[in-house]
């Protein structure tokens, strides 16, 4: 970090490009996701080290379930094994973790493992790592409204809705990064990104390292945020 840079308190990332990264190397898509996972762990550690308070990543969308059974099961088992690989590191780094998404789509042993990991990290006071898994922004809004109605809410304002989102208690992202060249939100944090600064780059996610992250933060630090004022 350069001294004159403004650090985003909350960075959200759409980690796109794993499949193309693998394709270029004539590898299966799951190999791209495995490389993407390593990159994710590295970027999370850097964010924690430089003082980012919240990092939210899009690991699997509600729409991704329609990919081939092989790719979906590959991603689920990658997530399962990642918990064993990284849990002690997260604990050591004082990183709290939270999975957001439609957990009914996860189910079974993976969900149990996720809940146990969240429990183990719940008292960590450093960075909060939020992993969007089986996540869709419109679905999140619909479930928030349903949950609010079930709880007896009759009138809705921004604050009320915010309390029923998966991200309740987490500030909105300051900076949203999308790698892989596409320039869209793909149903990610639709409500929360109302005033986020958007940063798009062509780098495929498995190639997105420290210098690419620092370039995004430097770009962010030059933005003038007005929040509609
Ligand atoms: C988008 O790239 C990426 C995904 C659908 C999965 C992202 C997952 C990881 C980075 C793995 C780490 C996370 C966990 C918790 C398992 P794409 O496959 O759409 O790439 P393409 O656009 O090049 O096809």
Residue 64 designated active-site:
yes
Choosing from 3, 49, 64, 146, the catalytic residue is 64
Q: Are 206 and 179 in contact (CB under 8 A)?
A: no
pLDDT of residue 43: 98
Rounded to whole angstroms, what are the CA distances from 119 to 7, 42, 96, 97, 200?
29, 23, 9, 9, 34
pLDDT of residue 107: 78
Per-residue pLDDT of the chain (229 residues; tens, 9 = 90+): 665 568 999 999 999 999 999 999 999 999 999 999 999 999 999 999 999 999 999 999 999 999 999 999 999 999 999 999 999 999 999 999 999 999 888 879 999 999 999 999 999 999 999 999 999 999 999 999 999 999 999 998 999 999 999 999 999 999 999 999 999 999 999 999 999 999 999 999 999 999 999 999 999 999 988 888 7
pLDDT of residue 77: 95
Decide: 20 in ligand 1 pocket, CB within 6 A: yes
In a domain, 228, yes or no: no
In a domain, 162, yes or no: yes
pLDDT of residue 229: 78
In a domain, 10, yes or no: no
Q: What is the CATH number of the domain that holds 97?
A: 3.40.1180.10
pLDDT of residue 42: 98
The count of structural domains within the chain is 1
Phi and psi dihedrals of 42, rounded to 5?
-65, -45
Residue 4 designated active-site:
no
Protein residue with least CA distance to atom 3, ligand 1: 16
The Å distance, Cα 88 to ligand 1 centre, comes to 23
Decide: 67 in ligand 1 pocket, CB within 6 A: no
In a mutational test of the pocket of ligand 1, which residue from 13, 24, 33, 83 has the highest number of ligand atoms less than 8 Å from its CB? 33
Protein residue with least CA distance to atom 10, ligand 1: 36
Which residue range is the domain that position 197 belongs to? 15-221
Decide: 132 in ligand 1 pocket, CB within 6 A: no
pLDDT of residue 4: 57
The Å distance, Cα 54 to ligand 1 centre, comes to 20
Tokens of 21: 């990264």
In a domain, 53, yes or no: yes
In a domain, 22, yes or no: yes
In a domain, 1, yes or no: no
The Å distance, Cα 79 to ligand 1 centre, comes to 11
Choosing from 16, 18, 172, 174, the catalytic residue is 16
In a domain, 72, yes or no: yes
In a domain, 6, yes or no: no
């Amino acid at each position: 970090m350069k001294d004159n840079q403004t650090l985003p308190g909350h960075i959200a990332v759409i980690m796109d490009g794993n499949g193309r990264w693998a394709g270029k190397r004539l590898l299966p898509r799951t190999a791209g996701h495995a490389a993407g996972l390593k990159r994710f762990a590295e970027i999370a550690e850097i964010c924690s080290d430089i003082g980012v308070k919240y990092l939210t990543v899009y690991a699997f969308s509600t729409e991704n379930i329609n990919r081939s059974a092989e790719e979906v099961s590959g991603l689920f088992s990658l997530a399962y094994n990642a918990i064993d690989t990284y849990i002690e590191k997260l604990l050591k780094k004082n990183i709290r973790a939270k999975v957001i998404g439609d957990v009914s789509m996860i189910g079974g042993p993976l969900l149990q493992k996720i809940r146990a990991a969240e429990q183990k990290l719940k008292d960590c006071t450093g960075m909060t790592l939020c992993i969007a898994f089986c996540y869709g922004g419109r679905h999140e809004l619909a479930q928030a409204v349903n949950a609010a109605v079930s709880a007896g809410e009759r009138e809705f304002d921004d604050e009320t809705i915010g309390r029923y989102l998966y991200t309740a208690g987490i500030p909105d992202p300051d900076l949203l990064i999308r790698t892989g060249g596409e320039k869209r939100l793909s149903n990610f944090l639709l409500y929360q990104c109302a005033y986020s600064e958007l940063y798009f780059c062509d780098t495929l996610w498995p190639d997105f390292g420290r210098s690419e992250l620092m370039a995004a933060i430097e770009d962010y630090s030059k933005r003038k945020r007005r929040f509609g004022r």
